[in-house]
């Protein structure tokens, strides 16, 4: 936001899976200072920039049973343009004012989301508690770096770093034990074929892509299961040299 203010830019927030997340000013990497920091304090994602885009893909914190999404803004011009774009460029039927898309939210998905919406804060709170539990159970493992628990974080994923080049062997062992893990993402953005040769190397990003590993994370995850996952993970790491 500070950069955007300086250069008169618009900000579109990619809030895909951050439904219910809040900026609480304790992010160590944040560039915002003074008045701006104060102004943003306590704001929900999607309300910070000029508009925010949420995803209702089934795996998201607030997920439908198929594809869907939401755009939030308090800019009337953006709101009207988005309303037109979602229905082939028209607000009144057959009065198309611009080229648009078929991007209406399916009624079935909307009905499902309305049932789930009242639970989202509770589910996010549970995700934070699960992250805390993982962090304390994994605190003594030398090959693991656990994430910082920042207030307002909604932990769509719980992602740790596996050091000493042990990640791929660990994933295999965990799979044999019936513990599913995911790597978000194995290929950094600038290495994707679509961006090939367009950007320089980003060494930190490339290193992280070799180390990150996301452990099971969903609100229904039982404490006992978290304990079993951590025990198994430690056992698997201890047999890797
Ligand atoms: C950060 C982020 N933005 C956008 C998307 C895309 O969302 P959708 O599939 O609803 O277009 C994703 C999906 O994984 C995402 O993780």
pLDDT for 161-205, tens place per residue? Answer: 999 999 999 999 999 999 999 999 999 999 999 998 899 999 999
The parts of the chain modelled with pLDDT lower than 50 are none
Taking CA atoms only, the protein residue closest to ligand 1 atom 16 is: 16
Q: Residues with beta carbon inside 6 Å of ligand 1?
A: 14, 16-17, 55, 57, 69
Task: Report the SS3 class of residue 218.
Answer: coil
- Residues above pLDDT 70, as percent of the chain: 96
Answer yes or no: do 125 and 184 share one domain: yes
**Range(s) of the domain holding residue 190:** 120-238
Instruction: Compute, in angstroms, the gap from residue 233 CA to the centroid of ligand 1.
Output: 29
Domain boundary among 47, 77, 104: 104
Tell me, yes or no, if the pTM score tops 0.75: yes
Residue 24 forms part of a structural domain = yes
Answer yes or no: do 19 and 79 share one domain: yes
Answer yes or no: do 7 and 38 share one domain: yes
Which atom from ligand 1 is nearest to the alpha carbon of 156? 16
Residue 109 forms part of a structural domain = no
Residue 114 forms part of a structural domain = no
Residue 64 forms part of a structural domain = no
Residue 113 forms part of a structural domain = no
Answer yes or no: do 153 and 221 share one domain: yes
Taking CA atoms only, the protein residue closest to ligand 1 atom 10 is: 55
Query: How many domains does the chain divide into?
Result: 2
Residue 112 forms part of a structural domain = no
Residue 185 forms part of a structural domain = yes
Residue 85 forms part of a structural domain = yes
Alpha-carbon gap, residue 72 to 82, rounded angstroms: 10
Answer yes or no: do 127 and 222 share one domain: yes
Task: Report the SS3 class of residue 215.
Answer: strand
Strands 12-14 and 51-55: parallel
Predicted pLDDT at 150: 86
Residues 6+ apart with CB under 8 A from 48: 1, 11, 13, 23, 40
Instruction: Compute, in angstroms, the gap from residue 69 CA to the centroid of ligand 1.
Output: 9
């Amino acid at each position: 936001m500070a950069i955007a203010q300086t250069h008169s830019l618009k900000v579109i927030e990619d809030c895909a899976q951050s439904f219910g997340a809040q900026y609480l000013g304790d992010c160590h990497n944040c560039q915002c200072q003074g008045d701006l920091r104060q102004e943003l304090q306590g704001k929900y994602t999607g309300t910070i920039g000029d508009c925010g885009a949420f995803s209702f893909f089934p795996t998201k914190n607030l997920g439908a049973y198929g594809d869907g999404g939401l755009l939030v803004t308090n800019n009337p011009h953006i709101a009207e343009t988005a309303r037109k774009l979602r229905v082939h460029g028209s607000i009144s039927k057959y009065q198309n004012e611009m080229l648009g898309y078929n991007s209406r939210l399916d009624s079935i998905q909307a009905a499902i989301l309305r049932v789930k919406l009242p639970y989202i804060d509770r589910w996010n709170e549970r995700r934070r508690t699960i992250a805390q539990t993982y962090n304390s159970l994994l605190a003594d493992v030398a090959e693991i770096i656990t994430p910082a628990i920042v207030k307002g974080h909604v932990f769509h994923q719980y992602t740790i770093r596996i050091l000493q080049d042990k990640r791929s062997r660990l994933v295999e062992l965990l799979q044999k034990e019936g513990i599913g893990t995911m790597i978000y993402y194995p290929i950094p953005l600038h290495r994707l074929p679509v961006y090939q040769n367009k950007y320089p190397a980003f060494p930190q990003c490339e290193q992280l892509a070799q180390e990150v590993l996301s452990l099971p994370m969903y609100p229904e995850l039982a404490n006992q299961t978290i304990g079993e996952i951590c025990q198994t993970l430690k056992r698997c790491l201890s047999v890797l040299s």
